[in-house]
Structure 1
Amino acid sequence: MVSIRKSLLQFVFAGSYMKRWNDKLRPVELLEVDKQAHKMIVAWLLYQQNSDDLDDTSRLRLGSDIIEGGIFDYFYRLVITDIKPPVFYRIKDNAQHYAQLSAWVLDELEPLVQPLGEDFWGRMRGWVQRPEKNSRADRILDAAHLFASNWEFRLIESLNRFDDEIEDIGASFDAKLAGFDDLKGMDSLRHATGAVGRFAALCGQLRFQKRWSQTPRIPETSVLGHMFLVACYSYFFSLAVNACGARRQNNFFIGLFHDLPELLTRDIISPVKKSVEELDAVIKEYEEAELRRKVLNPLEEEGFGGIAARLSYYLGLEVGSEFTEAVVDNGNVLAVDFELLQSRYNHDRFDPRDGRMLKTCDTLAAFIEAYTAVRNGISSDQLQAALWRLRDKNRRTVIGPVHVGALFADFD
Structure 2
Amino acid sequence: MSVIIRKSLLELVFSGAFMKRWNDKLRPMELVEVDKQAHKMIVAWLLFLLNSKSMDVARKRALGESIIEGGIFDYLYRLVITDIKPPVFYRIKENPVHYRTLTDWVLAELRPRIMPLGDEFMRRMTDYLMRPEDTGLARRILHAAHLYASYSEFKLLKSINRMDHELLEIEQSFIERLGEMRDLAGVAELLDEESNVLGRFARMCGRLRFQKRWSQTPRVPETSVLGHLFIVATFSWFFSMEVGACRARAQNNFFAGLFHDLPELLTRDIISPVKGSSSDIASLIHEYENLELTRVVLAPLREGGYDEVAQRLEYLLGKAVGSEFKGTIRRDGMVLEASDDKLAGEWNIDSLDPKDGPLLKVCDSLAAFIEAHTALKNGISSGQLHHALYRIRMRFNETPVVAGVQISALLADFD
TM-score range, shorter chain: over 0.9
**Structure 1 stretches of 5 or more lacking a match?**
none
Partner residue in 1 for 2:14: 13
1:107-128 per-residue CA deviation (whole Å, 9 max, x = no partner) reads: 1111111211222222111111
Tell me, what secondary structure is at the counterpart of 1:218?
coil
Mapped to 2, the partners of 1:273 and 1:19 lie a distance apart of 32
1:55-86 per-residue CA deviation (whole Å, 9 max, x = no partner) reads: 11001100110000000000000011032211
Match of 2:401 among 398, 402, 408: 398
Partner residue in 2 for 1:122: 123
For residue 275 of structure 1, report the CA deviation from its aligned partner: 2.4
Greater alpha carbon shift after TM alignment, 184-193 vs 209-218? 184-193
Partner residue in 2 for 1:189: 190
1:176-196 per-residue CA deviation (whole Å, 9 max, x = no partner) reads: 110111011111111213211
1:161-204 per-residue CA deviation (whole Å, 9 max, x = no partner) reads: 01111111111111111011101111111121321111000000
Partner residue in 1 for 2:67: 66
Output the amino acid matched with 2:203. Answer: A
Partner residue in 1 for 2:84: 83
Mapped to 1, the partners of 2:45 and 2:279 lie a distance apart of 37
Output the amino acid matched with 2:233. Answer: A
Mapped to 2, the partners of 1:397 and 1:344 lie a distance apart of 23
For residue 400 of structure 1, report the CA deviation from its aligned partner: 5.1
Tell me, what secondary structure is at the counterpart of 2:21?
coil
Mapped to 1, the partners of 2:403 and 2:309 lie a distance apart of 31
CA contact (8 A) 1:195 1:295 kept: no
**Structure 2 stretches of 5 or more lacking a match?**
none
Mapped to 2, the partners of 1:125 and 1:228 lie a distance apart of 22
CA contact (8 A) 2:359 2:403 kept: no
CA contact (8 A) 1:229 1:365 kept: yes
Tell me, what secondary structure is at the counterpart of 1:183?
coil
Identity %: 59
Match of 1:326 among 315, 325, 328: 328
Mapped to 1, the partners of 2:244 and 2:276 lie a distance apart of 35
CA contact (8 A) 2:358 2:403 kept: no
Partner residue in 1 for 2:361: 359
For residue 207 of structure 1, report the CA deviation from its aligned partner: 0.1
Residue correspondence of structure 1 range 156-305 to structure 2 within 5 A:
156-192=157-193, 193-305=195-307
- How many residues are treated as equivalent by the alignment? 412
CA contact (8 A) 2:51 2:184 kept: yes
For residue 332 of structure 1, report the CA deviation from its aligned partner: 1.2
Greater alpha carbon shift after TM alignment, 11-20 vs 127-136? 127-136
Partner residue in 2 for 1:28: 29
Tell me, what secondary structure is at the counterpart of 2:336?
strand
- TM-score normalised by the chain length of structure 1: 0.99
1:140 and 2:145 matched: no
Mapped to 2, the partners of 1:399 and 1:277 lie a distance apart of 23
Mapped to 2, the partners of 1:205 and 1:131 lie a distance apart of 30
Mapped to 1, the partners of 2:337 and 2:277 lie a distance apart of 28
Mapped to 1, the partners of 2:164 and 2:153 lie a distance apart of 16
Output the amino acid matched with 1:399. Answer: V
C-alpha RMSD over aligned residues? 0.9
Partner residue in 2 for 1:375: 377
The list of structure 1 runs, each at least 4 consecutive aligned residues, that deviate by more than 6 angstroms after superposition, is: none
For residue 280 of structure 1, report the CA deviation from its aligned partner: 0.6
